[in-house]
Structure 1
Amino acid sequence: MVETVLLVGVVASVFVGFNIGGSSTGITWGPSVGAGIVSKTTAAAVMTFFVFFGGWTVGRNVMETLSEGIITIDLTLTAGVAVLFFIGLGMLVANIFGVPVPTSMTTVGAIAGLGLATGTLDYATIAEIISWWIVTPIIGLWIGVLIGRYIYPWVNHRVDIEKSEGPLLRLERRGSVPTPALGPNTTRQEFGTTLAVFVIGCYMAFSAGASNVPNAAAPLVGTVDGLEPNTAIIIATFAIGLGGFTIARRTMASVGGELSDIPLLAALFVMVTASTITTILSWAGIPISLVMATVMTIVGIGWGRATRPVTVREAVSQDVDDTEIDLGAIVAQEKVDETAPRIGQPESADVLRGDDLFNPRAIVKYVSMWIIGPSMSTLLAYGFFLALPGVA
């Protein structure tokens, strides 16, 4: 009987990991694939490796919180399988509404529902987690504002990320040992920017593993007769990688939902910011959504970029009658040899609009799902374990 339930749990874990891989791989590598820097197959392979690396190292801290910190008892194997079911259900609802899946939040909600039903919820731990869910979007937003207002335009007119025709590298066979050299049309700047894009993608994959591997593995680790942590991490990584090689190909082709509307350079700023926030909180053992930090950083960069024509003094004094602020502006298309307008100066005429990122309805939909997703998994788990207390 135990073996059968464990097998069902492994299948449920693979299903959750498979869907995580489909969404997180697209967000992580979509911009790089769209720019022609890496192929979809290479992206999926690199994603799988760094997801494993992130889950095996930093992800253990999150797994410990999910499996032991939120409730004060050990789960039964059946309860762990039920929690995985509620996680999968929350992901399904989010996918139906076309919203990036807040997997970590859904996982915490399902486990918290069990704790409420059994009277074993650690309120101090859950309060700390929820407080970080509130603070993280604000941090991502304001870091994005600072980048968009002060840093991005300065970098944008100095760095040109383009891919030339032909291979990036080639092998020279002048001596007995072939040595790598730049491709026939590759410049040093192109090589440097391409390498930076690739490294940032690896960093984001590591962050995705640190935050998402525990979501597919923890419900089976903290259970009686469950899996060992190392085994659960390997299974979760396999499932995420499988999703990356299959269903993620479609999301990578569209260059990821939010990131498809902004240039590659802006996407890189978003990736570094969101990955850093997620990795730091995962290291601290806080289950956090990479998608949450990503979306709010995108909004922040756009907002900061749009408000450059207004100085801080003008904003505080509300003396902006003669200044037109384009709230749909993401980046100005300055050429590399042009200088970005200073703070308080009008923007150039060639401004790339991004109304979707500032559409209040879209923002409300995202935030609503971040509330509805974990709330729904909490209520469903609470009702289930309250009706069937013997399962826990």
Structure 2
Amino acid sequence: MVETLLLVGIIASIFVGFNIGGSSTGITWGPSVGAGIVKKTTAAAVMTVFVFLGGITVGQNVMATLSEGIITTNLTLSAGVAVLFFIGLGILVANIFGVPVPTSMTTVGAIAGLGLATDTLNYATIAEIISWWIVTPIIGFWIGAVIGRYVYPEVNRRVKIEKSDGPLLTLDRQGTVLKPTFGPNTSWRELGSTTFVLAIGCYMAFSAGASNVPNAAAPLVGEAGLEVNTAVIIATFAIGFGGFTIARRTMESVGGELSDIPLLAALFVMVTAATITTALSYIGIPISLVMATVMTIVGIGWGRATRPITFREAVTRAPEVKDREIQLGAIVAEEIEDEPTPPIGEEEAEEVLHGSDLFNPRAVIKYVSMWIIGPSMSTLLAYGFFIIFPGVT
């Protein structure tokens, strides 16, 4: 009986990890794949390696919070399987609404529902987690705003990420030992920029592993029956499988968000989101990588679009700014070559101010709503389930 239940739990863990791999791989490698810098298969392979590294290192802190910190008792095998069911249900609902999956928040909600039903909820820990959920979007937005307003325009004007035709590197077969050499059109600048893009992708994959591997692994760790390393390997396999399969389509679209902005802007978003997520994972806070990503995108767009007015005018919407419209899509327009970026508070070129929309405000509202609805729904459903079936715990 126990072996059968554990098998069911492993299958549920693989299902959760598979869906995580589909969404996380797209967010992590979509910009690079879209720019032709890396192929989908290579992206999925590298994603799997760095997801494992993130899960087996920093992810252990999140694992401890999920399996031991949210409730005052350890998760049993039956309770862990039930929690995985509610995580999978949260993923399904998010997919139906077509929004990035707030898996970490759904996981916390399901475990918190168990804690409420059994009177074992650690209120201090859950309060700390929720406070970070509130603060993280604010941090992501303002870091993005500073980048978009003061950093991105100058970097975008000076830095160009090159991609020439043909392979980046080839193998020299003339000698006895194969040696890598430049492709027919590769320059040192292209090699450097490509290496930089790949390094950022690896960093974000590490961050995704630190935050997402515990979601698929933690419910089966400890009293539930699996050792930590075994659970991490299973979750990594599932995430990698999702990366090689369903993520192939998401890497093309990246949920319609990052695909609409230049690769350089996407790199700023990736570094910021990965740093926020890794830092919070290090201190054991389950956090959604998507949350930091979306709010950084919004912040960069707002910062870039408000350059024609002063900071005070942008924040207070002073009367004198009424005749100067703030264009949220400014980030997607290229800077005019050989022309300096206008100082803060001065009008910019028309080509910059009238780019396509960076993001749809309604879509952002939908994402934020899911960050509230997702964990709330999983908490209520888990609470009701464990109240009705107390023997499962």
Q: TM-score, normalised by structure 1?
A: 0.96
* Aligned partner of residue 335 in structure 2, secondary structure: coil
Deviates more, 1:87-96 or 1:328-337: 328-337
Note if contact 1:18-1:241 (Cα within 8 Å) is conserved in structure 2: yes
Aligned residue number for residue 12 of structure 2: 12
Deviation at 1:175, TM superposition (A): 5.6
Q: Are the equivalent residues in 1 in contact too, given 2:170–2:181 (CA < 8 A)?
A: yes
Quote the residue 2:128 is aligned against: 128
Aligned to 2:366: 365
Q: 1:355 aligns with which of 354, 357, 373?
A: 357
The residue aligned with 1:282 is 281
Q: C-alpha distance in 2, partners of 1:317/1:148?
A: 19
**Deviation at residue 364 of structure 1 after TM alignment:** 1.3
1:273 alignment counterpart: 272
Q: Partner of 1:180: helix, strand, or coil?
A: strand
Counterpart for residue 188 of structure 1: 188
Q: Does 1:304 align with 2:306?
A: no
Deviations 1:243-302 (A, max 9, x none): 000000111122443111111110000000000000000000000000000000000000
Partner SS, residue 106 of structure 2:
helix
Distance in 2 (CA, whole Å) between partners of 1:337 and 1:205 is 36
Give the partner amino acid of 2:382: A
User: In the aligned structure 1, how far is the partner of 2:340 from the partner of 2:278?
Assistant: 34
For structure 2, the residue ranges without an aligned partner over 5 or more in a row are none
Unaligned runs of 5+ in 1: none
The structural deviation recorded for 1:335 is 4.5
The equivalent residue for 2:162 is 162
Distance 2:194 2:227 in 1: 39
- Contact 2:330–2:358 (8 Å) recurs in 1: no
My pick for the range that moved more, 190-199 or 344-353, is 344-353
- The percent of aligned pairs where both chains have the same amino acid is 79
Show the counterpart of 1:384: 385
SS at match of 2:321: coil
194-203 vs 322-331, which moves further: 322-331
Q: 1:391 to 1:266 in 2, by over 3 A?
A: same
- Residue 356 of structure 1: CA displacement? 5.6
Residues 47-56 or 347-356, more deviating = 347-356
Supply the distance in 1 between the matched residues of 2:311 and 2:74 (Cα, whole angstroms). 53
CA distance in 1, matches of 2:372, 2:157: 39
1:187 Cα offset (Å)? 2.0
**Displacement after TM superposition at 1:347 (Å):** 1.7
Residue 313 of structure 1 deviates from its aligned partner by 4.6
Instruction: Out of 317-326 and 90-99, give the one that drifted further.
Output: 317-326
Aligned to 2:149: 149
Instruction: Provide the alpha-carbon RMSD of the alignment.
Output: 1.6
Aligned twin of 1:293: 292
Note the C-alpha offset of 1:179: 3.5
The CA deviation at 1:183 is 2.2
Q: Is the 8 A contact 2:145 2:300 kept in 1?
A: yes
Q: 1:1-392 residue pairs with structure 2 within 5 A?
A: 1-172=1-172, 177-222=177-222, 224-315=223-314, 318=318, 319-351=320-352, 353-355=355-357, 357=359, 359-392=360-393
Higher mean C-alpha displacement, 369-378 vs 70-79: 70-79
Aligned residues: 390
Q: Match of 1:185, SS?
A: coil
